């Protein structure tokens, strides 16, 4: 006599769960690759587990296998061009302290020979599973900032040259009435060298009384942003 026992299991939920996991994984992969920010995941040994194409692009890894890159594989330089020690780099700090590191700037010479400025963030994973590193290429922003700084310096030099050619006494104040510029003629009339006045409030530097009408004229000109002119005799200067 033969007997057969058949067992049946409902695996619908398991199938649905597997399908949901696959769908979620696919979605995450698409988001990762669509991100304009470079993203990479490293284990605690510094070996890369996953990186998107933008991460490879930011580090100049195009044409090489990004899976071969390890943390610290490329020197990271500071503003002065000095190498930042590995222990002070974002990912190493995040792994060592368990705390996030945000917006650390550095420059790297990629495997493609190009030097790029990067803004780097590092976020440690739970249970010492590793660290997530994100990078943004800020090279254009850095170059633009340097151009603006050079333009500012050039403009200041040109203004200084113009001011020095002015025969009349001339000085400039900021919005708190502190000296920012004093030409030679003004030094003579005020009886103070520019080095003694820069950064000082005009009323204090020249001992102008609180009730002096001169204060009102200056404050009105600043508040209205309109030119004003007046004549007055200065007893201390005898002019």
Q: What are phi and psi of 111, to 5 degrees?
A: -65, -15
70 found inside a domain? yes
pLDDT of res. 135: 93
Secondary structure (H, E, C), 182-209: ECHHHHHHHCCCHHHHECCEHHHHCCCC
Number of domains the chain is built from: 2
Q: Are 77 and 120 in contact (CB under 8 A)?
A: no
pTM: 0.57
Q: Tell me: the pLDDT tens digits for 9-68?
A: 555 666 666 555 556 666 566 666 768 899 999 999 989 888 888 888 888 886 666 677
Structure tokens at 52: 């998107």
62 found inside a domain? yes
Residues 51 and 129 in one domain: yes
- Sign for the CA dihedral angle at 90, 93, 98, 102 comes to negative
Residues 82 and 125 in one domain: yes
pLDDT of res. 21: 56
* Three-state DSSP class for residue 103: strand
4 found inside a domain? no
Q: Which residues pair with 101 in a beta bridge?
A: 122
| Positions in the chain whose pLDDT score sits under 70 | 1-32, 34, 62-66, 234-239
Residues 45 and 123 in one domain: yes
H helix or E strand, kind and range, residue 30: helix 12-34
Residues 109 and 181 in one domain: no
Give the CATH number, domain containing residue 168: 3.30.450.20
96 found inside a domain? yes
Residues 118 and 168 in one domain: no
**CA gyration radius, the chain:** 33
pLDDT of res. 178: 95
Please identify, among 111, 137, 163, the residue that sits at the C-terminal boundary of a domain.
137
Count Cβ neighbours within 10 Å for each residue of 14-37 and write b for 16 or more, e otherwise.
eeeeeeeeeeeeeeeeeebeeeee
Q: What's the CA gap between 147 and 179, in Å, rounded?
A: 27
Residues 125 and 41 in one domain: yes
pLDDT of res. 78: 92
pLDDT of res. 157: 83
Helices (H), 35-174: 53-58, 90-97, 139-164
Q: Which domain holds residue 197?
A: 155-224
Residues 50 and 120 in one domain: yes
Q: Are 38 and 59 in contact (CB under 8 A)?
A: yes
143 found inside a domain? no
What's the helix, strand, coil split of the chain in %, to 5?
40, 20, 40
92 found inside a domain? yes
Residues 129 and 166 in one domain: no
Residues 159 and 105 in one domain: no
27 found inside a domain? no
Q: What's the CA gap between 177 and 146, in Å, rounded?
A: 29
């Amino acid at each position: 006599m033969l007997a057969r026992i058949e067992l049946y299991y409902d695996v619908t939920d398991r199938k649905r769960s597997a399908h949901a996991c696959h769908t979620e994984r696919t979605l995450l992969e698409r988001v990762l690759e669509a991100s304009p920010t470079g993203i990479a995941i490293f284990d605690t040994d510094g070996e890369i587990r996953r990186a998107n194409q933008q991460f490879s692009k930011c580090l100049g890894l195009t044409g090489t296998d990004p899976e071969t890159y390890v943390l610290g594989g490329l020197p990271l330089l500071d503003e002065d061009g000095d190498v930042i020690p590995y222990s002070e780099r974002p990912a190493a700090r995040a792994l060592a302290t368990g705390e996030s590191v945000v917006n650390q700037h550095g420059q790297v010479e990629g495997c493609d020979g190009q030097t790029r400025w990067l803004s780097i963030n590092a976020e440690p994973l739970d249970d010492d599973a590793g660290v997530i590193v994100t990078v943004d290429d800020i090279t254009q922003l850095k170059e633009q900032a340097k151009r603006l700084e050079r333009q500012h310096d050039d403009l200041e030099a040109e203004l200084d040259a113009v001011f020095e050619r002015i025969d009349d006494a001339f000085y400039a104040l900021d919005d708190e009435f502190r000296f920012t510029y004093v030409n030679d003629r003004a030094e003579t009339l005020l009886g103070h060298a520019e080095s003694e006045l820069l950064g000082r409030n005009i009323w204090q530097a020249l001992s102008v009384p609180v009730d002096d009408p001169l204060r009102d004229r200056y404050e009105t000109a600043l508040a209205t942003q309109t030119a004003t002119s007046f004549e007055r005799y200065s007893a201390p200067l005898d002019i």
